[in-house]
Amino acid sequence: MAPHNNSYPSQHDLPNVLILKLPPSFVIFGEHFFDSAKFRFLKAYESSLPLPQFLLAHAQSVQAILSSGGAPVTADTICLLPNLRLVVTTSQGLNHIDLSECRRRGIAVAGAGTIFSADCADSVVELLIDVLRKVSAANRFVKQGLWSSQGDYPLGSKLGGKRVGIVGLGNIGSEVAKRLEAFGCSISYNSRNKKPSVPYAFYPNVGELAANCDALIICCALTDETYHLINKEVLSALGKDGVIINIARGPIVDEKELVRCLVEGEIRGAGLDVFEHEPDVPHELFALDNVVMSPHNAVFTRESFEDLRKIVVGNLEAFFSNEPLLTAVNLDDQPHFSG
Amino acid sequence: MNNISVLMTCPMFPYLEQELETRFNLIKLWNPSSSKPEFFKNYSNFIKAVVGNTKVGADADMIDSLPNLEIVASYSVGLDKIDLDKCKEKGIEVTNTPDVLTNDVADLAIGLALAVLRKICVCDQFVRGGKWIRGDFGLATKFSGKSVGIVGLGRIGSAIAKRAEVFGCPISYHSRSKKPNTNYIYYSNIVDLAANCQILIVACALTEETHHIVDRKVIDALGLKGILINIGRGAHVDEPELVSALVEGRLGGAGLDVFENEPDVPEQLFALKNVVLVPHVGSDTEETSKAMADLVISNLEAYFKGEPLLTPVL
């Protein structure tokens, strides 16, 4: 009988990482995307057992969960996993994780850190230029052969000199500000707290920010405080020449009200990567040329997914080696989202 | 100045027409009466100024038919539709509209690059067509950090570079000569530039030397990982070669604001998802159109008052 070689632990010796639902990364890249020699995945979605029973069956062995935006980590789930000490999420947002419960139980949460900030900021710039300069609409116009038959396309609006109001000046908001400044925009913002060393004008409430900008950019987290933050009053303050760009979370905006404003011409236009009830998008928007939409995929680039792979595997390997996490979330600083 | 006759070559911008009409005796070349032979017999001697644009400028024939022409004020920064040699020879002043449109054109160049790499037009179509409910979109390419190569580092090229830098894009360029005071990498040969960048942006003036400057060799050097953005002139690019490269999948993608035979655009490009096409709208914003029109008017007023031209070309 050959001696057992301790350098190559068998699959049974590897710690379990629970995955509740199939993550987008697996859909695109296959189920070995986050493979590592240091842990193995326990895939709840492959079992015929209902989730609570599955969790009960594996409760003792689960120390870590790999979550994605569509796979919430609720208090109920956490409750069934007494040895859970880490939640790693593949998403930028944390609203799908019961952060208060994690804090109470001493469960660490590792997020995406700043790996997605560039793509998110690029998406904002792309959507804003598209809405103001009518890029997608003009592309449709040309590709339908209308340039020869109908003549010149209607004029757009200049980006330079526009006042940009950023809701949430975190890492993504800062990357947006840096970019739009280079296009000659002036920047102001609203955030939970005024940032001391930042050269931009601070507005203590979103309504005032909206009243004093031409383009309102949503870059904040979805929490109990920011749910429907962008409501009728804010949209009214933004006004007829205002544009709204949302790459954060759909529920931050009162979508019914936004649709009404767009249909009735009460704001200039919108660039939206996120919606309240994805993948359902209000059909009224489909007929509007002053709206540009993407299917919640601002960070879906090859490059960001490769960065994600490194950080997810890195966090899990660090955890199982008792080393510091790469992108630990400070739970003391995170407001809750009740969902 | 209402007795001064100014010829406008084609419809450009209603505000410009109105402003010209209040100040001068405006003659519109596209009016049915203007195209008749009698027009030139009756009016051509009176015309002292021509306002042209990127569609209809002031070529040799037109200049020859207007014996008392003194100034051509172009509603554009590009001068490729004006016979500059003839103007020089006849002592005709020429003005254009630099600077006021620089930012809009640079914004569009970056907007097109973002749109091609990140596939926003395709994304929008996907959502509009109700496809999101049934499936996922797939992956795009990140823009930040990609190497940008600019052909022509003049006002517009520099403005493009300044924007791209903020996205962490390394900048290189090709120009007639190396520019002092920049840290960007210079390539004296455009094929080398194309081989060493992922986003090639055409931003130079159209001259005899730059006609078809983006040819098969450049397109091959740019290749599968590269995209071409043209906000210059259609004639900068060998269009049939570009179309073959895109249709045959030899070039990563293209964002085009200009074409060799506007408003005709090669139909083989219409179905390509890695191609974004816009109808020569580089400076087409309300704000910039007005600024350009004001500059045309200011130049004409200055000329006829005997004051220095604001933006003379010759």
3-state SS class at A46 = helix
pLDDT score for B43? 83
pLDDT score for B1? 85
Q: Quote the minimal CA–CA distance from A177 to chain B in Å.
A: 10
User: Is A121's CB within 8 Å of B144's CB?
Assistant: yes
pLDDT band at A13 (very low <50, low <70, confident <90, very high): confident
pLDDT score for A9? 54
**What's this model's pTM, rounded to 2 decimal places?**
0.94
Asked whether the beta carbons of B268 and B248 are under 8 A apart, the reply is no
B186-217: pLDDT as tens digits: 999 999 999 999 999 999 999 999 999 999 99
In degrees, rounded to 5, the angle at the alpha carbon of residue B185 between the alpha carbons of residues B140 and B110 is 35
Please tell me if residue B120 touches chain A, with a CB cutoff of 8 Å.
Answer: yes
In degrees, rounded to 5, the angle at the alpha carbon of residue A262 between the alpha carbons of residues A168 and B255 is 75
Nearest alpha carbon to residue A131 among A236, A227, A273, A248: A273
* Pairwise CA distance, residues B201 & A270, whole Å: 28
pLDDT score for A339? 73
* Pairwise CA distance, residues B194 & B214, whole Å: 9
Phi, psi of B253 (to 5 degrees): 170, 175
Those residues with Cβ within 8 angstroms of residue B90's Cβ, 6 or more apart along the chain or in another chain = B63, B69
pLDDT at A138 over 90: yes
Report the run of H or E that residue B289 belongs to, with start and end.
helix B286-305
pLDDT at A5 over 50: no
pLDDT score for B35? 65
pLDDT score for B2? 87
Dmax (CA) of chain A = 83
* B260, HSE (Cβ side, Cα atoms, 13 Å): 13
Nearest alpha carbon to residue A163 among A207, A199, A216, A218: A216
* Pairwise CA distance, residues A189 & A202, whole Å: 5
Mutate to test the interface with A, among B165, B198, B274, B278 (most CBs of A within 10 A): B278
> Which has more confidence, A218 or A92?
A218
Strands of A62-67's sheet, edge to edge? A40-43, A16-19, A62-67, A86-89, A108-110
pLDDT score for A70? 87
Asked whether the beta carbons of B115 and B255 are under 8 A apart, the reply is yes
Q: Which residue numbers in chain B have pLDDT < 70?
A: 35-36, 40
| Average pLDDT estimate for A48-64 | 93
pLDDT score for A10? 61
Chain B residues in contact with A126 (beta carbon < 8 A): 111, 114-115, 118, 120, 143
- Joined tokens for residue A151: 């003549």
pLDDT score for B33? 76
Closest chain B residue by Cα to residue A28: B138
pLDDT band at A200 (very low <50, low <70, confident <90, very high): very high
Please tell me if residue B135 touches chain A, with a CB cutoff of 8 Å.
Answer: no
pLDDT score for B186? 98
Q: Which of B233, B236, B239, B241 is catalytic?
A: B233
Q: Quote the minimal CA–CA distance from A213 to chain B in Å.
A: 17
